Amino acid sequence: MTEYAYPDMVASPQWAADHLHDPSLRFVEVGFNSTTYDSGHLPGAVYWNWNGDILQAGSRDILGKTAVETLLSRSGIGSQTTIVLFDGFSNLLAAMALWMLKIYGHQDVRLLDGERRKWMADGRSLTTDIPTIQPTTYKAKKPDWTLRAHHDLILDGIGRANRVLVDARTEAMYKGEDAMGGTVGGHIPGAISVPAVMEMADGQFRRWLTPTVNEDGTFKTAVELHTLLSERGISPDNEVITYCVRGGLSTHLWFVLKYLLGYPEVREYDGSWAEWGNLIGVPIAVQ
């Protein structure tokens, strides 16, 4: 295993710089609000808001088919457009946006390796200019719900030898010491922990650090990723379902499993602990 299973799913900063003015490509920055985008973004990039453009406003569910078509049409994206997603939040928001776009069948969508952090660390240019967009008429494909897991599938699969749950939250959340997102703490029984770390600065949360990326935010090599997961018993021979607090960390891990390592059956449980940890009567394990 010398390279990623689908290397074109990752856009290096150099590749992105070389294609900044490619008319067949659209850069998209995803954020909780537009403050970071407004302060400077990749030339030509448009902005998508997490609440409203990825999740339905006032809901934790992803956009429906019609809303996705509206979003991509106003962003000047056609069915043949290459979309490069990034954010300033360890690419967690961008990964969930990519997952949503794959559900609705967009062919060529990628993550900017290292997100804003690597782009800026390399001294590459940003602009405050808002691009002029020529709207399209985008038609999404029939949703591919095999990429998604609902809580009933999770409940049905607990204890099954051929189904592996992967918990991407912190060790404290997994052990039940931190109930973030839920009324109770713990993990789904049988889930394997591949924990992220909450980086703090002056007592304030700064960003998530995931075990699948290097210090500069770029993805680790395929060999390193394979070792990280295989040592925990996560194998491509099983159906794998990822979950976290609200979907960001786990869609990031879903992306690694499905596109960097090429696992054939990977689903994302986007309800995650925000749903499971608030349900009545579901099993919860602590340790």
Domain count along the chain = 2
Residue 270 lies in a domain: yes
Average pLDDT, the chain: 96
Q: Residue 1: is its pLDDT beyond 80? A: no
Of the candidate ranges 58-62, 114-118, 208-212, the one whose mean pLDDT is the lowest? 58-62
- Residue 272: which pLDDT band, with cuts at 50, 70 and 90? very high
At 10 the three-state DSSP class reads strand
Residue 50 lies in a domain: yes
Choosing from 93, 168, 213, 244, the catalytic residue is: 244
Query: Could you tell me if 167 and 262 lie in one domain?
Result: yes
Give the residue-averaged pLDDT of 31-52.
97
Q: Residue 287: is its pLDDT beyond 90? A: no
174: domain CATH number is 3.40.250.10
> What pLDDT shows up at residue 2?
57
Residue 32 lies in a domain: yes
Any catalytic annotation for residue 264? no
Q: pLDDT tens across 117-152, in order?
A: 999 999 999 999 999 999 999 999 999 999 999 999
Query: Could you tell me if 117 and 207 lie in one domain?
Result: no
Distance CA 253, CA 247 (A): 10
Percent of the chain having pLDDT more than 90?
A: 93
Give backbone dihedrals phi and psi of 12, rounded to 5 degrees, phi first.
-70, 155
Range of the domain at 57: 7-121
Are 133 and 76 in contact by the 8 Å Cβ rule? The answer is yes
The tokens describing 1, both together, are 């295993």
Q: pLDDT tens across 87-106, in order?
A: 999 999 999 999 999 999 99
Query: Could you tell me if 92 and 175 lie in one domain?
Result: no
Query: Could you tell me if 247 and 156 lie in one domain?
Result: yes
**Closest to 104 measured CA to CA, from 60, 67, 152:** 67
Distance CA 238, CA 242 (A): 12
> What pLDDT shows up at residue 264?
97
Query: Could you tell me if 153 and 265 lie in one domain?
Result: yes
Residue 285 lies in a domain: no
Residue 250 lies in a domain: yes
Q: pLDDT tens across 189-226, in order?
A: 999 999 999 998 888 888 899 999 999 999 999 999 99
At 284 the three-state DSSP class reads coil
Please say which residue of 121, 137, 171 terminates a domain.
Answer: 121
Q: Residue 108: is its pLDDT beyond 90? A: yes
- Residue 111: which pLDDT band, with cuts at 50, 70 and 90? very high
Give the residue-averaged pLDDT of 234-244.
96
Bridging pattern class, strands 197-201 and 204-209: antiparallel
> What pLDDT shows up at residue 192?
98
Give the residue-averaged pLDDT of 256-277.
98
- Residue 267: which pLDDT band, with cuts at 50, 70 and 90? very high
Any alpha helices (H) in the chain, and if so which ranges? Answer: 13-18, 35-39, 65-74, 92-103, 115-121, 151-157, 171-175, 222-230, 248-255, 272-276
Go through the chain and tell me how many residues it has. Answer: 287
Give the residue-averaged pLDDT of 10-32.
97
Residue 26 lies in a domain: yes
